Amino acid sequence: MAAIGFILLTYLVASFPFGLLVALVGCGIDPRRAGSLNTGATNVARLCGTRLGVLTLLLDLAKGLVPVLCARAMTDSVVFVSLVLVAAVVGHMFSVFLYGRGGKGVATAIGVFLAAAPAVALLAVAACVAVIRVSGYVSAGSLVLAVAVPVLCAFLGQPALVPAGVVVAGLIIYKHRDNIARLRAGQEKSWRKSPAPAA
């Protein structure tokens, strides 16, 4: 019962839409109605500037990091840690406070895997950053990160985390379906060409 309660609590905490709060308070813009319509760090940075984007990134990352660190402190069960991990990402993506809508899960996924398998998270982030730098597309980097996570889990001695990695990767790819369509059509916005943020 306590385990189920903690998983539900994780979902609830991760549902909190930090990006929406940061953008509304920080620059008076509702990210659900501007830019990519996403409440994540990329859109907050696009609309409100890099500093508020980084703040959103850190807060969304913490929503994943903290519950999984707690789960690992509570038990050695990889199944429980995997369920908490997925609950955090699902909470961010399908927020109870946003009527089932939410972000695309990348920052929270980084947080959960930093807590569960730090080497996996760091290498996946390195691959993500490299792709963003070369391509100019944050979404392309995010998709590479998503695919890299379960693959790295398999190759870096974390096979028990592969199922959770596959679920998280699938959810991130699903949430990026519009980005994928834009990338394929050559219409995705490069971060290099982002308009100046609102004052």
In the complex, what is the shortest distance from the CB of residue 106 to ligand G3P, in angstroms, rounded to a whole number? 4
Phi, psi of 42 (to 5 degrees): -60, -45
40 or 67: CB nearest ligand G3P: 40
Q: Is 72 helix (H, G, I), strand (E, B) or coil?
A: helix
110 or 153: CB nearest ligand G3P: 110
In the complex, what is the shortest distance from the CB of residue 157 to ligand G3P, in angstroms, rounded to a whole number? 27
In the complex, what is the shortest distance from the CB of residue 153 to ligand G3P, in angstroms, rounded to a whole number? 20
7 or 45: CB nearest ligand G3P: 45
- Tokens 């870096």 found at: 156
71 or 89: CB nearest ligand G3P: 89
Contact 112, 32 (CB under 8 A): no
In the complex, what is the shortest distance from the CB of residue 142 to ligand G3P, in angstroms, rounded to a whole number? 3
151 or 180: CB nearest ligand G3P: 180
In the complex, what is the shortest distance from the CB of residue 164 to ligand G3P, in angstroms, rounded to a whole number? 19
Residues lying near ligand G3P in the complex (CB under 6 A) are found at 36, 38, 40, 42-43, 104, 106, 138-139, 142, 179
How far from 148 is each of 28, 131, 182, 190, CA to CA, in Å? 36, 12, 22, 22
Of 104, 63, 103, which Cα lies nearest the Cα of 87? 63
Helix 162-175 to helix 78-93 angle (10° resolution) is 10
